[in-house]
Chains A and B, each alone.
Chain A
Amino acid sequence: MSDKTVSPANAAASANVAAHVAANVAHAANDSGAAASPAVRVTGLHVTIGGKEIIHGVDLTIPRDATVAVVGESGSGKSVTAKTLSGLLPDRSDASGDYALFGEPINLEAGERAWRRLRGGTIVWLPQDPFSSLDPLRTCGRQIEDGLRSAGHVGSLPAQDVDNDRTVAASAGGSGNGGGAPAANGRGRLTKAQRRAAVERLLTDVGLAPAVYDAYPHELSGGMRQRVAIAAALAPDPRILIADEPTTALDASTQETVLDLLESLRSSRHMTLLLITHDLALAVERADHLVVFHGGQVVEEGGRDQVVHHPRSPYTRELLDAHTRLAVTDVPAFGDVVMRANHLRKTFAGSNVPAVADVSFDVRAGEILGLVGESGSGKSTVARCIVGLETPDSGNVVFTGNDGKPIGWSRGEAQLVFQNPYGSLNPTMTVRQTLTEALRVSGKPADDAAVRALVAKVGLEAELIDRKPGTLSGGQCQRVAIARALAPEPKLLVADEAVTALDANIQTHVLETLLELRSRLGLAMLFISHDLDTVRRIADRIAVMRHGRIVETGTTGQVMNHPQHDYVRALIAAMPPALD
């Protein structure tokens, strides 16, 4: 900081400059707004990260006071684009193109200082994961206050040319050197009591008690934490809020309320909400305007109804199809019961609430039983008890052996497909090694032909056979995991959130694979998910779990059309509506 020795006269001068810049921006934001310059206009955006071009010429117009959904699978460039707009690109990256915010041109090459002032008041980024975005060591109130402080610089934009750049830098330096003195643009600093009052107002706005001010993040649930994060994002009074997958880490019923909250805040504060999501159904339900990304390009942009009813690009059509229907496969006649769980109970050490409290059900050959419940409802523990990874405290799991005698678990009876497709494969082994091992220990022929047959069974391309998991996509890894689970030819396949981590159209492909395996092999399946919509699409019968108990069970039609339990009714109400 060369301007540490700034004289009072200089300070006054830079204060004037700052006021001037702020006035210009206010002018741009309010007056020329009447001339309907959109909130964001980007043309010819190219982004290169680490020498690799990620975004290949994106044109994007985002209207004011609207909810705009940016949809695309992971790696499609939607997040990178949003990060570019708020200057959050990592080092070693390069962005070029024309960018205007509310009609005011922005220099994409601007320095960190200029971006910081822009991010303070104009654009705010709401991070994805409320469990890691808050500082665990500070109270929620203090973290929201951080945003208030930068509200002193409302609306400054990074300047276009070198001269303006310097004035922005100088004014930042000037106010920084001001220390405890009133801020350069004439706004007084808030006193401690005022700050607290402002934060409590924000907490009320996001539907939390003012007492949350003194709470630490670990004392709050995921949904409450996301509300705190939203309050922190709103503190600088932004005009554009970028929400990156704001509900992906939350339970279904919590997702609903958080999205409702974002929508009501958006309309009451006249913000533009940019909703980044991989979930087309959610985007269609929430947004007025859709932007579909694929392979670093915008393949579709337009009003919601137009995109849903008259999609122009084949990719959008595929996404829409993925959501509406699964390819029909024959439902075989159900055979005998292959697995029966009797009064399972499990309490983990250190917890006084049972994870599973008295769960009983059975699955028949050729049948798909869907087990639905929020995280923490005990459904994963049930899955682990079934395949012997956990031992229930009481109750038992009985399989029907080959000669009809009841037996315990063995690899030929039931196999599990895990939620995390990357974690469930050994990262140091190729697909071939993984599958060969599974076939060999199961006493099956394990030659090249057998591995290829297994790979073909789950619809995986044969040329991926010598790759390691790190170079495969999530959907490909999950197919390998399913292939491995099928190697011992189990009678029951337990799929624990097996498609949750996958993108919508990949989910559909994997679900179709599972349905086809069922009808071809007569496999019994226990399909576990927190997502009722997914379960509805695949299951013949549904059991809903809550707090370690099954609260409702019945055929899919019964449960979906005539739910008995209030909780099930709430789950069904929280489902996104059909797309047609």
Chain B
Amino acid sequence: MMARIWHRLPLILALVVLAAVVVLSVVPALSAGALDQDIMLSTALPDADHPLGTDALGRDVLKLTLAGARTAIIGPVTIALGAMAVGLVFGLTAAYVGGWVDWIISRVVELMLSLPTLLLAIVVAGVIGGGYWTNVLVFVILYAPYEVRLVRSGALAHINDPFLDAARLLELGPLRTLAFHLFPVIRPLVGAALFLDMSNALVSLSSLSFLGLGVSPQDADWGRQLSDARNLLFDNPYAAIAPGVAIIVTSIALNIVGDFITEQSEKAER
């Protein structure tokens, strides 16, 4: 039993981290007062009241980091789900219909994949003004072609399976065939991809915030915090370390859970 827990330790830790992030983001009371400024206490080193010190505006770094969990989970989840929804619609259609429909979808996907994601996001955010939800929408669109390709190739692996022929022999409509026959067999793939995308989306969103194109300056956000704190490295390094560690730990946790799902689905296929 102990050996089993030890073997699964990374997964258990990852789930604990994700649970904590989720709880923090849905219960704002846990990080109440995170945005309270105390200019007199600007850039203080850790003490009993402020375990990680304060930032330039005198905000408590620990509370601010905990409050940042909100933007760290809502955006990535929206991006992953939104992009996957687009991916499922176009990916399954391309694989199932084939022919010129597949050709057009595949070429559009290739065109979009050839654009550098982050650079394009920066340009769009710069032109139309940025903001957290604008960024989320931009990333939904920019992540979608990856999902289309993933879903299409996953579905193509099964497109010649006899059970799909059997569905045609029962004269099931295409929508029913896609939803009840093709989608379930690629569901493990979709589950694994969702977590990996959340991890990527977290880093992407934080990058834009770091560049000042994300949340407004007074909101808690790990990317924003990193950006604000980079001038304070010699005064209170924890102001930069805390959000940095938070980003890394959360995104590793998402990766571990995604890996676990992949592993389980491979086992189930055998």
Report B-chain residues with C-beta under 8 Å of the C-beta of A441. 170-172
Do B166 and A424 touch (CB < 8 A)?
yes
Do B162 and A411 touch (CB < 8 A)?
no
The answer to whether the Cβ of B5 comes within 8 Å of any Cβ in the partner chain is no
Report B-chain residues with C-beta under 8 Å of the C-beta of A419. 162
Closest to B181 in A: A426
Assuming the contacts A426-B185, A428-B184, A428-B185, asked whether A437 and B170 have C-beta atoms less than 8 A apart, the reply is yes
Closest to A389 in B: B165
Report B-chain residues with C-beta under 8 Å of the C-beta of A481. 166
In the bound assembly, the distance between CA atoms of A419 and B165 in angstroms comes to 12
Report B-chain residues with C-beta under 8 Å of the C-beta of A484. 166, 170
Closest to B167 in A: A426
Do B162 and A418 touch (CB < 8 A)?
yes
Do B170 and A438 touch (CB < 8 A)?
yes
Minimum Cβ distance to chain A for residue B266 (Å)? 14
Bitwise, A464-505 to B at CB < 8 A (1) or not (0) is 000000000000000001001101100000000000000000
Do B165 and A437 touch (CB < 8 A)?
no
Contact of A427 among B165, B180, B185 (CB under 8 A): B185
Assuming the contacts A426-B181, A426-B185, asked whether A387 and B162 have C-beta atoms less than 8 A apart, the reply is no
Report B-chain residues with C-beta under 8 Å of the C-beta of A387. 169
Minimum Cβ distance to chain A for residue B162 (Å)? 4
The answer to whether the Cβ of B49 comes within 8 Å of any Cβ in the partner chain is no
The answer to whether the Cβ of A297 comes within 8 Å of any Cβ in the partner chain is no
The answer to whether the Cβ of B47 comes within 8 Å of any Cβ in the partner chain is no
Report B-chain residues with C-beta under 8 Å of the C-beta of A411. 169-171
Do A420 and B169 touch (CB < 8 A)?
no
In the bound assembly, the distance between CA atoms of A424 and B170 in angstroms comes to 13
Closest to B188 in A: A428
Minimum Cβ distance to chain A for residue B188 (Å)? 10
Those of A369-427 within 8 Å (CB) of chain B: 387-389, 410-411, 415-416, 418-420, 423-427
The answer to whether the Cβ of B163 comes within 8 Å of any Cβ in the partner chain is yes
Report B-chain residues with C-beta under 8 Å of the C-beta of A437. 170, 172, 180
Report A-chain residues with C-beta under 8 Å of the C-beta of B163. 423-427
Bitwise, B161-191 to A at CB < 8 A (1) or not (0) is 1110111111110000000110011010000
Count CB-based A-B contacts (< 8 Å): 54
Minimum Cβ distance to chain A for residue B172 (Å)? 6
Closest to B268 in A: A470
Report A-chain residues with C-beta under 8 Å of the C-beta of B165. 389, 416, 418, 424
Closest to B180 in A: A437
Report B-chain residues with C-beta under 8 Å of the C-beta of A425. 163, 166
Contact of B168 among A389, A418, A427 (CB under 8 A): A389
Indicate the member of A387, A419, A420, A428 with the most B CB atoms within 10 Å. A428
Report A-chain residues with C-beta under 8 Å of the C-beta of B170. 411, 437-438, 441-442, 484, 487-488
In the bound assembly, the distance between CA atoms of A442 and B166 in angstroms comes to 13
In the bound assembly, the distance between CA atoms of A388 and B169 in angstroms comes to 8
Closest to B163 in A: A426
Number of residues of chain B lying within 8 A (CB) of chain A = 16
Contact of B184 among A410, A429, A487 (CB under 8 A): A429
Do B184 and A420 touch (CB < 8 A)?
no
Do A426 and B184 touch (CB < 8 A)?
yes
Report B-chain residues with C-beta under 8 Å of the C-beta of A424. 162-163, 165-166
Indicate the member of A425, A427, A487 with the most B CB atoms within 10 Å. A427
Bitwise, B220-246 to A at CB < 8 A (1) or not (0) is 000000000000000000000000000
In the bound assembly, the distance between CA atoms of A420 and B168 in angstroms comes to 17
Do B169 and A416 touch (CB < 8 A)?
yes
Do B166 and A418 touch (CB < 8 A)?
yes
Report A-chain residues with C-beta under 8 Å of the C-beta of B180. 429, 437
Closest to A414 in B: B169
In the bound assembly, the distance between CA atoms of A500 and B240 in angstroms comes to 67
Assuming the contacts A411-B171, A429-B184, asked whether A420 and B162 have C-beta atoms less than 8 A apart, the reply is yes
In the bound assembly, the distance between CA atoms of A397 and B268 in angstroms comes to 41
Indicate the member of B162, B180, B181 with the most A CB atoms within 10 Å. B162
In the bound assembly, the distance between CA atoms of A429 and B161 in angstroms comes to 15
Closest to B270 in A: A470
In the bound assembly, the distance between CA atoms of A68 and B75 in angstroms comes to 68
Minimum Cβ distance to chain B for residue A469 (Å)? 9
Contact of A415 among B162, B167, B169 (CB under 8 A): B169
In the bound assembly, the distance between CA atoms of A418 and B166 in angstroms comes to 9
Report B-chain residues with C-beta under 8 Å of the C-beta of A418. 162, 165-166
Minimum Cβ distance to chain B for residue A302 (Å)? 38
In the bound assembly, the distance between CA atoms of A441 and B176 in angstroms comes to 11
In the bound assembly, the distance between CA atoms of A441 and B168 in angstroms comes to 11
In the bound assembly, the distance between CA atoms of A426 and B185 in angstroms comes to 8
Report A-chain residues with C-beta under 8 Å of the C-beta of B187. 428
Report B-chain residues with C-beta under 8 Å of the C-beta of A415. 169
Report B-chain residues with C-beta under 8 Å of the C-beta of A442. 170
Report B-chain residues with C-beta under 8 Å of the C-beta of A420. 162
Bitwise, B135-177 to A at CB < 8 A (1) or not (0) is 0000000000000000000000000011101111111100000
Report A-chain residues with C-beta under 8 Å of the C-beta of B162. 418-420, 423-424
Report A-chain residues with C-beta under 8 Å of the C-beta of B185. 426-428
Assuming the contacts A423-B162, A424-B163, asked whether A389 and B169 have C-beta atoms less than 8 A apart, the reply is yes
Report B-chain residues with C-beta under 8 Å of the C-beta of A389. 165, 168-169
In the bound assembly, the distance between CA atoms of A385 and B237 in angstroms comes to 73
Minimum Cβ distance to chain B for residue A424 (Å)? 4
Q: Which residues of A contact B (CB under 8 A)?
A: 387-389, 410-411, 415-416, 418-420, 423-429, 437-438, 441-442, 481, 484-485, 487-488
Q: Jot down 17 A-B pairs with beta carbons below 8 A, ordered by A.
A: A388-B168, A389-B168, A410-B171, A411-B169, A419-B162, A423-B162, A424-B165, A426-B181, A426-B184, A426-B185, A429-B180, A438-B170, A441-B170, A442-B170, A481-B166, A484-B170, A487-B170
List 10 extra interface pairs beyond A428-B187, A437-B180, A441-B170, CB under 8 A: A388-B169, A389-B165, A418-B165, A423-B163, A424-B165, A426-B167, A427-B185, A437-B170, A441-B171, A484-B166
